[in-house]
Structure 1
């Protein structure tokens, strides 16, 4: 079947909308007509070679749509079901069996390898195989092949524009606060970066009645939005050392820092903002795969501090995505405030707008 897809032909190149071919779903696979797909920093990290992915290829990993066809053995969804697509996992390793699919031992191969486990690709152009299967979906396209493991069935009346970002960015930020930190009422959270992941974390903290929620963000409009969404404080990193600003708000320091920047200098200020037994959670993807964080050893020991890497918000998507949908329906997680839409054909313009801080979470739509 012929579809349209945003193809990256070389590392660092623009996305080009091209006609390509998509195959039939194989055993365990699901063919989905994509209605909407979120634009995430991880897509751009792959585009620019910061994450491994074969070129030419198709990325995109926050897809939502309707099941067109299913492969042999698929029982989780049926043709006509609405679904959100999320990251892929094997289902067989120790992590997957403990309902921790973000730490699947085959995560890198299944999400960034660009091919199925048998080495084939479901996407091609003029008979030449394309890099596909990005996060088990490659949903920067009008249709995508996903796997039974990484589709989440939605209600028949689900809004697919809102559903897409739940598959990665929204669940990552919210999950870090709700799953990894398990933040509780009265505690203190510092969020480094007011993009979609950071603000999703702030929204989750509001839902958990966290006492102090501080968002650090250089863009004034995003600081204002953070306060509107329930953050208790929003600070400008240009106004002085972040740790000094944080200590002026909460002298004892914070219980949790959610870092979305992957910037070593920012992380230094994050660590300096910690209180006793505090935790720094690392979510951001660094531009340099060899980037390191310097941890001050004596303060770390004195504080009893922890630094933890977080993948996909420590979520089990089959459980956590419905939980977020329910919170949104109850008015307790208004992540729709983060979303703006653009036609899929304006992908490159959307990337530029998001880079300028003109949008927080852009969802690309077809039709």
Structure 2
């Protein structure tokens, strides 16, 4: 009990310091990097849905717990050798640095702005909290999102391909692509970004020194099926004014009600911030949905760094709204420890009154402080 009270006091102190320092602690610039890919992509036996009704039918089949529809669609693999332009942002702390870079990958329905929600002085701005703690951060639009390349949404924009894109970026950064040297790189993910980070740890175990997985847990796939079923999936060109997508293989969450259902816990989110994020939301592809879980389907047996899982107690995607649920006596965020048998340390944090998009909830400042404290430990 005493150690928990001491931890709580430390978090309150850090929360105050990070909030007071966040406004003037950043030096940010936009960055465009090239991701060079030499891999194989899944051969998916489908075509872009011709109509909204066809897309809805695809989601119905994909979210059935018994059809196993995505697996049926994958009929083999195809070589994929490409170069993609990836848009991101590098934010450095002003006047102080630990030499640590956080490499942050967003999840479904977001773009890079998830990591800077609310703007420079916002308490929901994760990047500002990282800089205030003395850490640099690089965050980017995943392949198919925002200002990054938007290739074929079935043949190329797939979940395992996102792993290869991120690996290429990390390799370039370690080689000096950001014109800045870092003694440590920590992978940070949210949701699908966490799945991507797990995939990197499994396939490229030396890319990251440590990893932080937010909006992530293990042991219960029901929440993913429920949340995707309630996604209100709408063809991107119909849902977004400036979608600029190559085909109907790209789709987006349909309405704010659908967004709230999967990502937010009422009334513990800020309406203005969440509406801004929703109005600039990212897209999802048929290829990503079909290959969604592949990167996290096997343990990262050779990853030896530290692992932190941070998941809201009311996360709908990974816990079906209840992260206190247990599997064989282990809570769902801690079930994820099984993916990292060689990790030097594993810890989980479960903020209360918090849904899937942890950065958008009132608990964010305390959550950010806990993350930065863990990084510094």
TM-score normalised by the chain length of structure 2? 0.27
The structure whose RCO (Cα within 8 Å, separation 6+) is larger is: 2
